[in-house]
Structure 1
């Protein structure tokens, strides 16, 4: 009877371990998917911001272009066209970021850095540990006790 009980406990323990491992795997996969979807939304938001900014830069550039050409036609001095040089670069950069393949080039460069220049990716003070997180939490609790009316950061 004791031997059957021991074998049955071992089987239950093994099944519980397998179940916990499967649940942890599902949990991690869900977290990865959540982070990916959040990242995709943030990237889409940044692209939308770039496009909106491009509309403003483009409008400013066109107004400046018309004004500079009008001033050049009246005064016949090349210096009136000089502001168009930096404005052209800024507008072209913004157009490339908003509608060109600049984001793709940035991703390729980021992949290159991750593969061949890992030393550039180090965090200041290294990777946070459970102890450093707990210490920060305790310091924040202590600050809250000492200064309850100050806004929390």
Structure 2
């Protein structure tokens, strides 16, 4: 049992590391996109004297800030803290529909599926 818990924890850590690495990779691409768009819109707004062309920079800047926070900031710690809070004070939100599966419910579903498969074969 202890080995299984350790294995599951290692898998969880690897998945989280992959998510952080994914965020950092996405940040590189989005950062390049954001830079090109910001420079292009700024030049266009100055040349055409239309300041409304700068409007898309605001939502793109919010997305960029989120990506930075996700890749290098404290977003993961805040999410973990919120998850811990939910687990402590709002545990009823985590209940599964029809409750936690039991051995009997799994066996019942397995038997029903195998009897259906044998019925369809006939």
Query: TM (normalized to structure 1)?
Result: 0.73
- Partner residue of 1:62? 35
Q: How does 1:1-153 map to 2 (within 5 A)?
A: 28-142=1-115, 144-145=117-118, 146=120
Structure 1 consecutive aligned stretches of length 4 or more whose deviation exceeds 4 Å = 142-145
Could you list the per-position Cα deviations for residues 64-96 of structure 1 after superposition, in whole angstroms to 9, with x for gaps in the alignment?
101111101111111110110110000100110
Aligned residues: 120
**TM-fit CA distance, 1:143:** 5.1
**TM-fit CA distance, 1:144:** 4.6
Q: State the alpha-carbon separation in 2 of the partners of residues 141 and 55 from structure 1.
A: 50
Report the structure number with the largest CA radius of gyration. Answer: 1
Gaps of 5+ in 2: none
Gaps of 5+ in 1: 1-27, 148-153
CA 1:75–1:46: 2 relative to 1, 3 Å:
same
Could you list the per-position Cα deviations for residues 83-126 of structure 1 after superposition, in whole angstroms to 9, with x for gaps in the alignment?
10110000100110011010011011111111111111111221
